[in-house]
Structure 1
Amino acid sequence: MNPALKSLFSTNPNNKNFKFYVEKCNHLLKSISSKGSVREGTLLHGHLLKMGISSERYVAVKLLIMYLNFRKPAEANEIVKKFNGFDAVVHNCMIDANIRWGNIEEARRLFDEMPERNEVSWTALISGFMKHGRVEESMWYFERNPFQSVVSWTAAISGLVQNRSSFEALKVFLRLLESETKPNEVTFTSVVKASLELGNFRFGMSIIGLIVKFGFENYLSVSNSLITLCLRMGEIDLARRIFDRMEQRDVVSWTAILDMYVEMGDLGEAQRIFDEMPERNVVSWCAIIARYSQKGYPKEALKLFRRMFEEGFKPNVSCLSSVLSALATLENLRAGQNIHAQILKTGIDGDIFIDSSLIDFYCKCRETKDGRMVFDSITEKTVVSWNCMVGGYSLNGQMEEGRDLFDKMPCRDNVTWSAIIAGYVENKEFDKVFELFNEMLLSGETPNSSTFSSLLCACASMASLENGRNLHGKLIKVGVQYDVFLGTALIDMYAKSGDIENSKLVFDRMPKRNEVSWTVMIQGLAESGFVEESLALFEEMKITSSIAPNELMLVSVLFACSHSGLINKGLQYFRSMEAVYGIKPKGRHYTCVVDMLSRSGRLYEAEEFINNMPFQPEANAFAALLSGCKTYKNEEIAERTAQKLCELAEKGSFLSAGYVLLSNIYASAGRWVDVSNIRKLMKEKGLKKSSGCSWVEVKNHVHFFHSEDGTHWKSPEVYEMLELLRFEMVQ
């Protein structure tokens, strides 16, 4: 038994201590009502009956509240009957309880039968309808409320924000100001949330002025919402100043400022902030783990997860989902299986977020069978779980299974369409990509950025300029053509389709560029033969932007130098990679240098460069040197390179193109026996020379033609036309 309750039972009240005794009873009633047990409450009620004070109004009201909190309507109704006539407080208690129980119609009935209502009655009904998503009815009562104090105004504003009617919430707030009612801290917190949801940062900034004017800048909830607002606006220094000025901070305050440093990529400062937190709970632990996982730091997330366990905290559903996401990124199957076992043990495997995370985890670890088992075990599947499984099949190239599941889906959203389209793009089934896209448009679903990115990637891979232009038109219509990701995809598509002018036009018009945008444009110019412009753009990037050169960008720069004969400049770039940019050259960088030297006839330097490489050269490096030997007819180096090629061939790491190149060198030197030996070796290894391929786009359909191939459905007509052209040329 509760010690305080036991002490009360042993107290013998008299005239001197009766007031103290009643206060003690009231305190116990309040305590038991909020966190006690039904048994203790019943015992106390019995004691109060015995002492003859249970019918006192202030005691009876607290007993009523206790039984309502215990969800004991029968006992509550018995207490109500003992009240002599109408009591507004009792009615308000009953209205509030029925709203909490979900009996909104009963709450309305109680409200309607009240002979007189006070501010609490009206506010309770306004909040109640808002909590149950019945916004119009709530606002009907709000407009008719005769007690429009800050409490009822705030109930309407916060309710509208909770129901994602933030624009209406701001309109009500402006009416509140016109009524000369002074807002309170809850009002301002709700209004800042509305500004955030709408992305109306100008309005949000004006709210800051009002907060200072009314003196609420030091209230905890207001300061927390202001920190979030400043972070969303990119006002990082202001957010930090608000945080530093706060006299009191809670988990929300610390987590918001923690988010800021994780978002900035400053993990050291984020960790320092986390370690400084005076008190950490499950929410704070789960928040930082989730942020690290979401921002691409899975190892750090897992380290924190282990620390969390060591300090005695148990993860919640959100935390487990974040950990599974981190393990999926690392493809750590065994650790994920252990987490799955813990989930089954604790009985939370029926949670939709956990199940979706498990499906995603298994699919990213290439275990789609296990992912399908989890999917099939879900009794009530949502579109999220369907999307995870369809996306999992697409990710693993199992397009037949993915399409089968896609066709069975009861409903689809743009994530579903994007997942299946991306799968077909990844598997180079481009005909199905555009077929599905047309189906998506006919279904009425609006493509998102991810869908457009996949489609533009397909156009770039096929060099399908017509389809790419059509997509560009749709992007202009939607108004997202200069989104940094879609803009980059457009640059790549135009460059790979041979329309470098439009590629440059898109790049020049982009208001914001990232590392990938610059890389794609530099690469596109280099591969399209505009080598001088490519190098000039690289230099411009170094001067005008804060973006540092990356590995792929430097491959393009070296490629440009190789194809423009700028050997010394290319070597200078290569040497500066590690010294200036801190990038250790990889095999492809070395291959570019070999190609650069070989193209200019500096074959001995190229051979020495290969011999001095700190790791095994790529096959393409030898192929580049062989190509130079063929051009400059250097059989001596070709012989030595051929020997290296044989060694690579034994390891299975040489390409058929290299054998063909070596065969051509021997043929040009008249060494037909060696040519025969090379061809025999290729036959033994099952290697074939890649046939020539060309394609043409007619009416948005791409037609592929291979050398001496008659599989195209119009091959007879094509060859007939070729014969006619040949005849005309001879004539």
Structure 2
Amino acid sequence: MKASLRSLFSINPETSFNSYIETCLCLLKDITSQNLVIQGRALHGHLIKTGIHKERYLTTRLLIMYLGSRKSLEANEIVKDLNGFDLVVHNCMINANIQWGNLEEAQRLFDGMPERNEVSWTALISGFMKHGRVEESMWYFERNPFQNVISWTAAICGFVQNGFSFEALKLFLKLLESGVKPNEVTFSSICKACAEINDFRLGLSVFGLIFKAGFEKHVSVCNSLITLSLKMGEVDLARSVFDRMEKRDVVSWTVILDVFIEMGDLGEARRIFDEMPERNEVSWSVMIARYNQSGYPEEAFRLFRQMTRYSFKPNTSCFSIVLSALASLKALRSGMHVHAHVLKIGIEKDVFISNALIDLYSKCGETKDGRLVFDSIVEKDVAHVVSWNSMIGGYGLNGQMEEAKELFDNMPKRNDVSWSAIISGYLEHKQFDLVFAVFNEMLLSGEIPNKSTFSSVLCASASVASLEKGKDLHGKIIKLGFPYDVFLGTALTDTYAKSGDIESSRRVFDRMPDKNEISWTVMVRGLAESGYAKESINLFEEMEKTSITPNELTILSVLFACSHSGLVDKGLKYFNSMEPIYNIKPNGRHYTCVVDMLSRSGRLSEAEDFINSMPFEPDSNAWASLLSGCKTYKNEQIAERAVKNLWKLAEEHPAGYVLLSNIYASAGRWIDAMNVRKLMTEKGLRKSGGCSWVEVRNQVHFFFQKTDHNPK
């Protein structure tokens, strides 16, 4: 800009008029592209002062500058100063009004033109298409005397942009019949139309036409072919088109990057991303999103930082993805830095950004900051139910159910997600009575529960072993026509099993068309805990024949079944197979279950040796299981060693003391039993009381037993 100004002032317009005009035109072009309207006005004044502002080329360029800056008053003044009709000027005015959305004014200008060219007609055709007025656009297309490839392409592109891909293809066939040859823009649009309607046979025909017409080397056409190939599922064909391209732009690389991302091949996608000679915001955002979706939030954030370091500007979608990644990492400080960046560029009121920020602060335990973001959202009372749901979910995540319920009660509008959010919150914090209360309120409101809501309420029913509630929910699920998918089927299986109706549980399980490892685990555990140990083991062996791999809970359930059915050797076989066959490293619960299994069968010395051979410090439950076996089989020597280890591990573990006292009592060693009870009193230890419940008329009643181990 400065160089152009220096060049302008160094030229004498009287002696080098043409050079002066050319410099002015270049300067106006730069001013227009950079939207420097103040500088443009100053130059306009200078041209008026020199008396050359009415030169035709300068007038047109000044008009374009003012139209580009939406300065309609200045533009109209320039038009008034023109002597007579100017076709170029009128076309500029028509295009500007179309850009501004003033289609009626553009139409008025067009109708008032004494003559028109292909630019005039194409402007109306593409303009009406751009604003979704397809019928009016086609009215002008059909009356257009200049039926060239540009007007045909404008109509075809317009059909595709407005979702009328089939009509676009029909018009393309008419174009071919008319003898007009398509250009690269026409072919790009037709490729998109084929992809939209999933007409792969026609897509292959378009491939042939493109090669026959010699457009297979055009970058934009190749990019469209790659996208079409991907949509057709022809990954090798897409890669072949890419490899044969002599020139590639950033879109080419981004499209082929999309190919491997859609395939789920993150490693190959990253290799291509690293090879890209040029990247844009889209390619960066695509990789960041994929890393976050694939469970690598650290890498997603690392790429985001690299993106901003290279001066790329993330869009709203990219910011929301990064905030989601930071929420997964609970990285509060980094999240606050991104929040500051969002505030700086002024997109904090975007609903996706706001919801991502609420989620971030909630997952980091900072609900006060999340509420500040929520309160700053404009029009949340009317439009953004999602924002209310995010804030309710945030409160529920942090156990602030009073605040969640207050916000829920004040919602101007609710959806099924709103109800699910508040119900899930109560479920998470084991407030089962409130889960049922809110669910009943939901039904009375007329809102139809979704599968997620039913799963939550079924989980609450399972937790309180409420068979009546489980049956009632099952009936509602059938009435609403929900299929036994993985989520609902598993929840129903678990509810019936925990409520003691193992036959109904098995029926639901058998009717499920699809099962995952959780479904199998729930049924295996349900059978084991209901006393059907052999059936549980048989089901596990049936699971082994499928392609589903057991998880650590499945193995734990099988060990439990073996323990309660006396199948010690089979249980040891499963335990020893965990790492070599199932690739599951045993944890403390698995070791404790084996100790319990050995202790129940009277193999106390073997159980003690097993505890001593553990690869980590045994917990109190392992020693307590051994101690329980000692009580059953009256082994005082091992019991005393077990209690000593319990004392070392947990000074405040009363169950071990009670067991030892009972062992002494059953052996007639009343003084030793009294001494253990006395020691408990001195330490202030009490065994926790028992708890039971019963359901009467859909109301669950709990009963607690207080125990007092203080000797009289």
Deviation of 1:590 (Å): 0.7
| Cα distance change, pair 504–647 in 1 and its aligned pair in 2 (3 A) | same
Give, in whole Å, the separation in 1 of the partners of 2:220 and 2:525. 50
Give, in whole Å, the separation in 2 of the partners of 1:266 and 1:286. 17
Identical aligned pairs, as a percentage?
61
Deviation of 1:604 (Å): 0.9
Which of 667, 670, 673 is matched with 1:669 structurally? Answer: 667
Q: Is the 8 A contact 1:364 1:395 kept in 2?
A: yes
Q: Show CA shifts across 1:137-196 (max 9, x none).
A: 5445546752585334335434424xxxxxxx245346536756679234335436745x
Match in the other structure for 1:188: 190
Match in the other structure for 1:425: 427
SS at match of 1:146: helix
More displaced 10-residue stretch of structure 1: 580-589 or 660-669: 660-669
Give, in whole Å, the separation in 1 of the partners of 2:223 and 2:446. 40
Match in the other structure for 1:591: 592
Q: Show CA shifts across 1:26-49 (max 9, x none).
A: 666545433352255446656776
Q: Match for 2:155: what amino acid?
A: W
Match in the other structure for 2:546: 544
| Cα distance change, pair 38–180 in 1 and its aligned pair in 2 (3 A) | closer
Which residues of 2 match residues 82-97 of structure 1 at below 5 A? 82-83=81-82, 89-97=88-96
More displaced 10-residue stretch of structure 1: 286-295 or 495-504: 495-504
Deviation of 1:392 (Å): 0.5
Deviation of 1:426 (Å): 1.0
Q: Is the 8 A contact 1:262 1:292 kept in 2?
A: no
Which of 399, 405, 408 is matched with 2:407 structurally? Answer: 405
Match in the other structure for 2:325: 326
Give, in whole Å, the separation in 1 of the partners of 2:17 and 2:646. 104
SS at match of 1:187: helix
Q: Match for 1:146: what amino acid?
A: E
Match in the other structure for 2:371: 372
Count of residues in correspondence between the two structures: 685
Q: Show CA shifts across 1:658-710 (max 9, x none).
A: 55544443443344455555556666546443324133364xx242342579x
Deviation of 1:430 (Å): 2.6
More displaced 10-residue stretch of structure 1: 393-402 or 232-241: 232-241
Match in the other structure for 2:645: 644
Q: Is the 8 A contact 1:142 1:156 kept in 2?
A: no
SS at match of 1:397: coil
Which residues of 2 match residues 278-297 of structure 1 at below 5 A? 278-297=277-296
| Cα distance change, pair 154–355 in 1 and its aligned pair in 2 (3 A) | same
Q: Is the 8 A contact 1:118 1:147 kept in 2?
A: no
Deviation of 1:587 (Å): 0.6
Give, in whole Å, the separation in 2 of the partners of 1:175 and 1:680. 95
Q: Show CA shifts across 1:589-645 (max 9, x none).
A: 111211221222211111111111121223322232223223322222222212222
Which of 137, 153, 163 is matched with 2:155 structurally? Answer: 153
Which residues of 2 match residues 246-265 of structure 1 at below 5 A? 247-255=246-254, 257-258=256-257
Give, in whole Å, the separation in 1 of the partners of 2:466 and 2:205. 56
Give, in whole Å, the separation in 1 of the partners of 2:573 and 2:34. 74
More displaced 10-residue stretch of structure 1: 64-73 or 245-254: 245-254
| Cα distance change, pair 114–528 in 1 and its aligned pair in 2 (3 A) | farther
Give, in whole Å, the separation in 2 of the partners of 1:379 and 1:574. 58
More displaced 10-residue stretch of structure 1: 27-36 or 76-85: 27-36
Match in the other structure for 2:392: 390
Give, in whole Å, the separation in 2 of the partners of 1:174 and 1:477. 45
Q: CA RMSD in A?
A: 4.1
Give, in whole Å, the separation in 1 of the partners of 2:443 and 2:114. 58
| Cα distance change, pair 637–708 in 1 and its aligned pair in 2 (3 A) | closer
| Cα distance change, pair 204–10 in 1 and its aligned pair in 2 (3 A) | farther
Give, in whole Å, the separation in 1 of the partners of 2:238 and 2:677. 70
Q: Is the 8 A contact 2:332 2:364 kept in 1?
A: yes
Q: Show CA shifts across 1:489-536 (max 9, x none).
A: 344334434444554555555554444344434434443444445444
Provide the TM-score with structure 1 as the length reference.
Answer: 0.80
Provide the TM-score with structure 2 as the length reference.
Answer: 0.82
More displaced 10-residue stretch of structure 1: 50-59 or 380-389: 50-59
SS at match of 1:211: helix
Give, in whole Å, the separation in 1 of the partners of 2:220 and 2:481. 37
Match in the other structure for 2:571: 570
Match in the other structure for 1:72: 71
Deviation of 1:588 (Å): 0.9
Deviation of 1:468 (Å): 4.0
| Cα distance change, pair 306–175 in 1 and its aligned pair in 2 (3 A) | closer
Which of 685, 701, 705 is matched with 1:704 structurally? Answer: 701
Match in the other structure for 1:729: none
| Cα distance change, pair 152–629 in 1 and its aligned pair in 2 (3 A) | same
| Cα distance change, pair 606–236 in 1 and its aligned pair in 2 (3 A) | farther
| Cα distance change, pair 483–270 in 1 and its aligned pair in 2 (3 A) | farther
Q: Is the 8 A contact 1:263 1:295 kept in 2?
A: no
Give, in whole Å, the separation in 2 of the partners of 1:581 and 1:480. 34
Q: Match for 1:605: what amino acid?
A: E
Which of 436, 439, 449 is matched with 1:437 structurally? Answer: 439
Give, in whole Å, the separation in 1 of the partners of 2:676 and 2:96. 89
Match in the other structure for 1:631: 632
Q: Is the 8 A contact 2:128 2:136 kept in 1?
A: no
More displaced 10-residue stretch of structure 1: 20-29 or 401-410: 20-29
Give, in whole Å, the separation in 1 of the partners of 2:167 and 2:657. 77
Give, in whole Å, the separation in 2 of the partners of 1:265 and 1:696. 49
More displaced 10-residue stretch of structure 1: 596-605 or 213-222: 213-222
Q: Show CA shifts across 1:425-453 (max 9, x none).
A: 11222333233334444545454443333
| Cα distance change, pair 534–184 in 1 and its aligned pair in 2 (3 A) | farther
SS at match of 1:544: coil
Give, in whole Å, the separation in 2 of the partners of 1:484 and 1:238. 36
Q: Is the 8 A contact 1:126 1:139 kept in 2?
A: no
Deviation of 1:387 (Å): 2.1
Q: Match for 1:398: what amino acid?
A: Q
Deviation of 1:213 (Å): 4.1
Deviation of 1:359 (Å): 1.9
Match in the other structure for 1:81: 80
Deviation of 1:355 (Å): 3.3
SS at match of 2:650: helix
Give, in whole Å, the separation in 1 of the partners of 2:676 and 2:190. 81
Deviation of 1:244 (Å): 4.5
Which of 496, 499, 504 is matched with 2:498 structurally? Answer: 496
Q: Is the 8 A contact 1:125 1:138 kept in 2?
A: no
Match in the other structure for 1:719: none
Q: Is the 8 A contact 1:461 1:496 kept in 2?
A: yes
| Cα distance change, pair 630–123 in 1 and its aligned pair in 2 (3 A) | farther
Give, in whole Å, the separation in 2 of the partners of 1:223 and 1:596. 66
More displaced 10-residue stretch of structure 1: 352-361 or 442-451: 442-451
Match in the other structure for 1:725: none
Which residues of 2 match residues 216-295 of structure 1 at below 5 A? 240=239, 243-244=242-243, 247-255=246-254, 257-258=256-257, 266-295=265-294
Q: Match for 1:435: what amino acid?
A: A
Q: Is the 8 A contact 2:261 2:269 kept in 1?
A: yes
Match in the other structure for 1:450: 452
More displaced 10-residue stretch of structure 1: 547-556 or 313-322: 313-322
Give, in whole Å, the separation in 2 of the partners of 1:405 and 1:310. 40
More displaced 10-residue stretch of structure 1: 391-400 or 501-510: 501-510
| Cα distance change, pair 122–444 in 1 and its aligned pair in 2 (3 A) | farther
Deviation of 1:97 (Å): 2.0
Give, in whole Å, the separation in 2 of the partners of 1:448 and 1:269. 38
Give, in whole Å, the separation in 1 of the partners of 2:115 and 2:502. 77
Q: Is the 8 A contact 1:157 1:187 kept in 2?
A: no
Q: Is the 8 A contact 1:5 1:44 kept in 2?
A: no
Q: Is the 8 A contact 1:355 1:385 kept in 2?
A: yes
Give, in whole Å, the separation in 1 of the partners of 2:496 and 2:122. 60
Give, in whole Å, the separation in 1 of the partners of 2:590 and 2:322. 37
Structure 1: unaligned runs, 5 residues or longer:
162-168, 196-202, 710-731
Q: Match for 1:214: what amino acid?
A: L
Match in the other structure for 2:356: 357
Match in the other structure for 1:621: 622
Give, in whole Å, the separation in 2 of the partners of 1:488 and 1:245. 50
SS at match of 2:700: strand
Q: Is the 8 A contact 1:154 1:186 kept in 2?
A: no
Deviation of 1:370 (Å): 2.5
Q: Match for 1:704: what amino acid?
A: H
